Amino acid sequence: MKVSDNVDVILIYPKTGIDIGATIGPPHSLLSIAAPVQQAGYNVKIIDQRTDADWKTHLADYLGRNPICVGISSMTGTQIYFGIEAAKIVRKLTNGKIPIVWGGPHPSTIPEQTLQSEYADVVCIGEGDETLKELVDVLAKEGPLSGIKGIAFKDGGKIITNPSRPLIDVETLLPVPWELIDVEKYIHKDFYIKKSTRSLDIGQTSRGCPFQCGFCSSATLRQRKWRAMSVEKSLKNIIEPVKRFNLNAVWIRDDEFYIDSERSHKICEGIVKSGLKI
């Protein structure tokens, strides 16, 4: 890429503290929200601190190309520390002129507390697939944030929480924009499938879970509602990356793949019938 090229949106996935080998899967949360933004014509760059030892240099480079905003995804825990490290760089190099948008399980659960930080301007609450694209549109036009569902933001010294956004229809989700990352960095020898040499976490075929386990954010973020892609769309999302990246094993990162056992059976049967050697 030429130095003169603009970068409209920077999305950052912080280190987790347990980033070793096959534990590092693609930043699917960022890939999912990036897809609609990219489809709308914006230039998106993803920085994954887990795989990019020179992420600070790349962040500084992208910040010099007039971004509309910077997004940071975080779970509760170590990711917050490394996310704030990135946010401090954004503040310093842009003199506070570029909005910092937080999303993910931690900010979504406690958005008001998150916005008390000097390193947060907006929080996307819950699923950000539609929210971020709308937010970027408004920020690009310097419009008011008051009409965007699913966000909380600072208005002067006051924190405003807008109405929530309905959960997305997962059948409408766009294909994973694999071109935004170096996929080879996420292909590993699988820890559990000993014979595999090229295993990749290919993402979700459903979202949500009806249960309420204390250790998991899914119940809070997705309202204990399970939403599944069709068998046809699920198979397409599995088969295409297997062929594209020459995989011999896959991870499917659904919160709960087996809620509908008939659907699960049809997907597995479809994989077998496809002739994939995985």
Please give the Cα distance from 68 to 129 (Å, whole number): 17
* pLDDT at 2 > cutoff 60: no
Please give the Cα distance from 37 to 271 (Å, whole number): 31
- Confidence band of 141 (pLDDT split at 50, 70, 90): very high
**Pairwise pLDDT comparison (247 vs 215), residue with the higher score:** 247
For residues 136-141, average pLDDT:
98
Please give the Cα distance from 189 to 187 (Å, whole number): 7
For residues 28-48, average pLDDT:
98
Tell me which architecture the domain covering 9-161 has in CATH. 3-Layer(aba) Sandwich (3.40)
For residues 116-139, average pLDDT:
97
For residues 248-270, average pLDDT:
95
Domain locations in the chain as residue ranges: 9-161, 187-274
Please give the Cα distance from 212 to 225 (Å, whole number): 11
* Listed residue (49, 102, 101, 51) closest to 74, CA to CA: 102
**Pairwise pLDDT comparison (260 vs 220), residue with the higher score:** 260
Q: State the Cα angle at 242 between 239 and 248, rounded to 5°.
A: 125
pTM of the model: 0.95
Q: Please report, rounded to a whole number, the percentage of residues in the chain having pLDDT higher than 90.
A: 88
- Confidence band of 84 (pLDDT split at 50, 70, 90): very high
